[in-house]
Amino acid sequence: MTIPYIYILLASTVINTVGTAPLLLSEGARRYSWVVPLISMLILLMTPDIHLLVYVAFLVVIGILGLITLMRVKSSIRGIDYMLISIMIIATVLALYTSNLALTLLSLMLVSAPTYLLILMGDPSISIEIGVKYVVNMIIATVLFFVGAIIISSGPSLITYIIGFSLLLLGLSLEVGAAPMHEWVPDVFTAGNPIPVAIIASIAKIAPFIVAVKITLTTMSLYGVSPYYLAYIAGAFATISMFLGNIGALTSRESPRVLAYSSIANMGYVMAAFAAAIMGAQEMGATLDFAFIGLLLQLFMNAVGKMGFFNTVFSKGNNAVSTWLISLAFIGTPPLLGFWSKLYIILALVYGNLTWLAVLLVINSVISVPYYVRLARELGTGWKGGLAEGLIIVFTILTLSTIIPPYWLVVPLIKMKLINYLILSLK
d(Cα 107, Cα 110) in Å, to the nearest integer? 5
What is the amino acid identity at position 14?
V
Per-residue pLDDT of the chain (427 residues; tens, 9 = 90+): 567 889 999 999 999 999 988 888 787 778 889 999 999 999 999 988 777 888 898 899 999 999 988 988 887 788 899 999 999 999 999 998 998 989 999 999 999 999 988 887 766 666 677 888 899 999 999 999 999 999 998 878 889 999 999 999 999 999 999 999 999 999 999 988 898 899 999 999 999 999 999 999 999 888 888 898 899 999 999 999 999 999 999 999 899 999 999 999 999 999 999 999 999 887 777 888 889 889 999 999 999 889 889 988 888 888 888 889 899 999 998 888 889 999 999 999 999 999 999 999 999 999 999 999 999 999 888 766 666 677 778 877 777 776 666 666 677 666 666 667 777 876 5
Centre a 10 Å sphere on the Cβ of residue 28 and count the other Cβ atoms it contains.
8
- Which pLDDT value is given to residue 419? 64
Asked whether 209 and 299 are in contact (CB, 8 A), the reply is yes
- SS3 assignment for 139-199: HHHHHHHHHHHHHHCCCCCHHHHHHHHHHHHHHHHHHHCCCCCCCHHHHHHHHCCHHHHHH
- Which pLDDT value is given to residue 11? 94
d(Cα 260, Cα 324) in Å, to the nearest integer? 18
- Which pLDDT value is given to residue 127? 64
pTM greater than 0.85 (yes/no): yes
d(Cα 264, Cα 186) in Å, to the nearest integer? 9
Q: What is the DSSP string of 336-352?
A: SHHHHHHHHHHHHHHHT
